[in-house]
Amino acid sequence: GENVEQHPSTLSVQEGDSAVIKCTYSDSASNYFPWYKQELGKGPQLIIDIRSNVGEKKDQRIAVTLNKTAKHFSLHITETQPEDSAVYFCAASPSGTYKYIFGTGTRLKVLA
Amino acid sequence: SQTIHQWPATLVQPVGSPLSLECTVEGTSNPNLYWYRQAAGRGLQLLFYSVGIGQISSEVPQNLSASRPQDRQFILSSKKLLLSDSGFYLCAWTGTASGTEAFFGQGTRLTVV
């Protein structure tokens, strides 16, 4: 069945360093890959997304890369700040469906 | 602008009691609606989704059910709660096209005791 694996489960970085979170999806029909940030006690919020016809997308300090052949996609956060500390989820949505299959999340801690 | 409301924010219920969580969306018509459960330290598990009034798709067999009595209202229910039903429940909506942003509510933390 559809599955999204996400690594690492926890990540600690020093303020100003970069953070990378990686996901692998199983359904080759997936064509939409969002990333969500969840702060404590709140619902997840979209921070960036990418579609299968694009290999990379950047928005200020955040970038996402997609390798369709390997079925990998990654989130890159540069110049991390304490407010980046949160749980990050990747997701994949198979084409023609309304489902979003989420990874298990990465708890990012940015140490000041 | 569109908003999503989910309540209550927290709930403590005894084993065997019924459950009703409600979610409403404002500012959009005919949204796709979703219920997710997030167990402690785990990812988001899709429980139910709905593409229209009265249309419910269940993703996992369980002790819960969902209903959509109105276009922008989605209800998660149980007749008898189990300890394993404890978790953080999230309602979400998307537009009708596939592959669009999902907007989440603030969640309900359910503790079954």
Q: DSSP assignment of B8-73, as one string?
A: -SEEEE-TT--EEEEEEEES-SS-EEEEEEE-TTS-EEEEEEEEETTEEEESS-SS-EEEEEETTE
From chain B, pick out residues whose CB is under 8 angstroms from the CB of A89. Answer: 43-44
> Are B101 and A49 a contacting pair at CB < 8 A?
yes
Q: List per-residue pLDDT tens for chain A, 112 residues long.
A: 678 999 999 999 999 999 999 999 999 989 999 999 999 888 999 999 999 888 999 999 999 999 999 999 999 999 999 999 999 999 999 887 788 899 999 999 999 8
The size of the A-B interface in CB pairs under 8 A is 61
pLDDT at A72: 96
Instruction: Answer whether B26 touches A (CB < 8 Å).
Output: no
Is A14 exposed, middle or buried, given 0-12, 13-18 or 19+ CB atoms closer than 10 A? exposed
CA-based nearest residue to A36, from B21, B44, B17, B94: B44
CB atoms within 10 A of CB A60: 9
| Residue B109: φ, ψ to 5° | -90, 110
The reply to whether omega before B8 is within 30° of 0 (cis) is: yes
pLDDT at A96: 77
Question: What's the CA gap between A109 and A19, in Å, rounded?
Answer: 10
Q: Which residue of A has its CA nearest to B50?
A: A98
Q: Which of B32, B45, B107 sits opposite A98 (nearest CB)?
A: B32
In order of B3, B4, B25, B99, the CA distances from A90 in angstroms are 23, 21, 24, 14
Question: What's the CA gap between B47 and B39, in Å, rounded?
Answer: 12
From chain A, pick out residues whose CB is under 8 angstroms from the CB of B49. Answer: 98-99
pLDDT at B57: 92
> Are B90 and A44 a contacting pair at CB < 8 A?
yes
Tokens read off for A53: 């016809």
Helix (H/G/I), strand (E/B), else coil: A82: helix
Question: What's the CA gap between A72 and A1, in Å, rounded?
Answer: 17
From chain B, pick out residues whose CB is under 8 angstroms from the CB of A24. Answer: none
Question: What's the CA gap between B107 and A85, in Å, rounded?
Answer: 19
pLDDT at A12: 98
pLDDT at B41: 65
From chain A, pick out residues whose CB is under 8 angstroms from the CB of B109. Answer: 41
pLDDT at A1: 67
Residues of chain B scoring pLDDT < 50: none
Q: At a CB cut-off of 8 Å and minimum separation 6, what does A71 contact?
A: A24, A25, A26, A28, A30
